[in-house]
Amino acid sequence: MDLSIVSGDTTLEAARIRFSILRKIGITGRASMAIELSDGLRAIIESGVRQRHPDYDDKMIRLATLRIAIGEELFNQSYPDIEVKG
């Protein structure tokens, strides 16, 4: 095991258990976990946008969430004619 990828606050035994579990669930399981985390983060961002902008409709919520996720510069390049705040 490459110890450089283990956090300083994680014991070696805990890291071994974690890596063992990740190996057991395989690449499909790890991909599913990543997608779940991504979906969860997007839901949290959306919730924040809804709280800050109760006047936004669903389309504006999606656009504001996207702007936060991809950053202002890329959002403005992709949607130059849309004004939306996160």
pLDDT, residue 73, reads 96
- Look at phi and psi of residue 48 and say left if phi exceeds 0, alpha if psi is from -120 to 50, else beta: alpha
pTM recorded for the entire structure: 0.72
pLDDT (mean) for 56-83: 95
Q: Are the C-beta atoms of 45 and 65 separated by less than 8 Å?
A: yes
pLDDT in tens, 14-64: 989 999 999 999 999 999 999 999 999 999 999 999 999 999 999 999 999
Confidence of residue 3 (pLDDT cuts 50, 70, 90): low
Q: How many CB atoms lie within 10 A of CB 58?
A: 9
Domain boundaries, given as residue ranges, for the chain: 3-78
pLDDT, residue 61, reads 97
